[in-house]
Amino acid sequence: MLRDLPVVKGKISDEDLKRGAFILIDKPLGWTSFDVVSRIRSVLRKRFDRKNIKVGHGGTLDPLATGLLIVAVGPATKKLASIQADDKEYEGIIRLGAVTPSYDLETEPQDFKPVDHLTEEAIRQAMQSMEGEQEQLPPVYSAVRKGGERLYEKARRGEEVKEIKARKIRVFKFEPLRIHPPELEFKAHVSKGTYIRTLAHDLGQKLGCGAYLASLRRTRSGDFHIGDAQSMDEWFQQNS
């Protein structure tokens, strides 16, 4: 069981490394999930003077996203597959009236369209219609591998990416928190492997105006919540 292992908010001990532990990090904007893991591993290896300390994370967050990143150390890394399979919750902002190739702000908005005609009811209904089990195509700008290479590597070189395989996902809840076009604040509860960027893009297609993800924050993963997480700065101060 996951809860047999401690969630450490503070200084990691030698005992934590031996039995395994989780660290809940509030991933900062601009960092990759690998950046977080790499920095934590480096600090722990230096502090304990060991090269074989295992560190991993329980589900990738895009560099432009913030929020809950579950980091496992020591034997807890064996539990990561189970954590990655958990359902997750997010909050964020979708911008209506344009699209981007990456479905977020990694690339420039284009194909601008008016949104003044959109009603709150139309937006709510469109979001609700996207709930349930479905097949979802990952974005071209994603870490999905094809031919031994990640899709975003091909996309950034301007290469055309064909025959992306759809994934079976489930959207448990996709609802607005505040509607003030062109911005839409939302909350999403989804299964593993769901791309919120794709939800944003597909919502824009349903509404006929285009849309992209302007910001994203993971608030929950399984039994773990963002309220229990700490910033990278806090973690470094306690463990360096």
Q: What's the rounded Cα separation, in Å, for the pair 53 and 44? A: 7
Q: What's the rounded Cα separation, in Å, for the pair 30 and 22? A: 22
DSSP label at residue 20: -
- The sign one gets for the Cα dihedral 8, 12, 18, 23 is positive
**Pairing outcome for strands 65-73 and 211-221:** parallel
DSSP label at residue 7: B
Q: Please identify every residue annotated as catalytic.
A: 62
Q: What's the rounded Cα separation, in Å, for the pair 50 and 36? A: 19
**Pairing outcome for strands 167-180 and 132-136:** antiparallel
- Which one, of 87, 14, 16, lies nearest residue 5 by Cα? 16
